[in-house]
Structure 1
Amino acid sequence: MKKYRGLKQQVWQYEDYELVPIRDKDRLAIMRWRNEQMYHLRQSSELTPEDQDRYFEKVVAPLFELERPNQVLFSYLHKAKCIGYGGLVHINWYDGNAELSFIMQTSLEEEGFAFHWSTYLKMIEKVAFQELNLHKVFTYAIDLRPRLYPVLKEAGFTQEAILKDHVFFDGSYVDVILHRKLNTNE
């Protein structure tokens, strides 16, 4: 298992679920899920295996060597099997904030959306607030998945802003909704 130089703790657990530093062996499954879920991601075209290999080599691999990387990415595991991935992205070390990112295996979205988001949030918040001592985490969600907002509210997030007509999707403009959670351990 690769280790992030900037993290003392590498593995985060909740019941049968774990966040581990993103694994190379999960890259093609992650690519497939991203391609299947492009509608809610900031991704304009389908990824190829070559794209994904290049991304893991040029972007992901160097993150492990940095004391303060601009993102920390994790494979989300259930009983050692990767069923999602996410992390803290666009980390602003000076201001102490980061955007949360997470997608799960597409087939889990219908029945397990709220459960997996809640489970993921329990672990990633510990990374953000206990390990990295960030001040705030936030989500940037294109307003296409209304099931996300109750999960965030249940986890203690508050709606921070609505960016009106911010993203062009399927022939029209849609809003982006930002939610935030502050570090209560400061």
Structure 2
Amino acid sequence: MSQHSSFSEFDEGRTRHRGRRDRPIHRKRMTDPKGFEQEGEKPGEYLALGGFKASYGEYATSSIRMKDALPIMAWRNAQISALRQKEPLTREQQLQYFEEVVGKQFSEKRPRQVLLRFTLQEELIGYGGLVHVDWENSRAEASFLLETERARDVSLYQKECRIFMAFLQQCAFTALGLNKITTEAYAHREFHLQALDSSGFTREGTLRQQVQVDGTWVDAIVSSCLKSEFEGQGRAQQE
């Protein structure tokens, strides 16, 4: 997807994918979002993660599942002003993207993106991940999108954003061994930027009038977190 959320405004590589003509889908299982996992197959997991999972209370994260495609599509379409996405996604586009892009990267040792599902009491409430992964330079962009109704509650959003970002930092720095994760968040979402600040991200700079949102030019704020900072936070908590 590079369907990003305001953590790098979710781009997931979708920008390039959208540029191609949608090819017809002939596989019967694509008509059912749960069909990916209803044919006796195990849910896909990223080989690169080595079985990574994380939890905090009743919150948890693990590899994205193919059946998550349509809930995610609905959230993206409802929150398009927070994303790099330009047009509403169709069911066909979303299922095709999961089949041709997301699923095929599960078996790669160095995937271009790693998407994680975010659950509460085993119910999907959001997703995010690491996109535009640059393995040579050991960095990636962080992304996050929360279920639409939950995202309207600023206090809840900030709490759950911080929880997911803690999961994502574990994934990036511990499971994948990356050195740096960055975000590009739109300035009109100050509540989101505050959640990033309190998650250990440092604001690096401003990209002035980077995008238009509802006809208004909006700045993008670039923030980042380093592996050394993440490890330092862990040591401080132990002392």
**TM-score (structure 1 length as normaliser):** 0.96
Q: Report sequence identity in percent.
A: 37
1:81 to 111, 120, 123: 123
Amino acid aligned to 1:77: T
Aligned amino acid, residue 191 of structure 2? R
The CA distance in 2 between the partners of 1:104 and 1:150, in whole Å, is 16
The 2-side partners of 1:108 and 1:78 are apart by 12
Choose from 150, 153, 157 the match for 2:194: 150
Displacement of 1:166: 1.1
The answer to whether the Cα contact below 8 Å between 2:44 and 2:66 also exists between their aligned partners in 1 is no
User: What SS does structure 2 have at the residue aligned with 1:150?
Assistant: helix
- Where does structure 2 lack aligned partners over 5 or more consecutive residues? 1-42, 233-239
Tell me which of 120, 126, 142 is aligned to 2:170: 126
Q: Aligned equivalents of 2:182 and 2:56: distance in 1?
A: 21
1:40 correspondence with 2:48: no
Name the aligned partner's letter for residue 133 of structure 1. G
| SS of alignment partner, residue 72 of structure 2 | helix
Larger proportion of strand: 1
Residues 1-186 of structure 1: matches in 2 within 5 Å?
A: 1-111=43-153, 112-184=156-228, 185=231
Q: Which has the higher helix share?
A: 2
For residues 42 and 151 of structure 1, the distance between their equivalents in structure 2, rounded to whole angstroms, comes to 20
Q: How far off its partner does 1:80 sit?
A: 0.9
| CA deviations over 1:162-182 (Å, ceiling 9, x no partner) | 001111222232111111111
TM-score normalised to structure 2 length: 0.75
Aligned length: 186
Q: CA deviation at 1:93?
A: 0.6
Give me the CA root mean square deviation.
1.3
Q: Bigger radius of gyration, 1 or 2?
A: 2
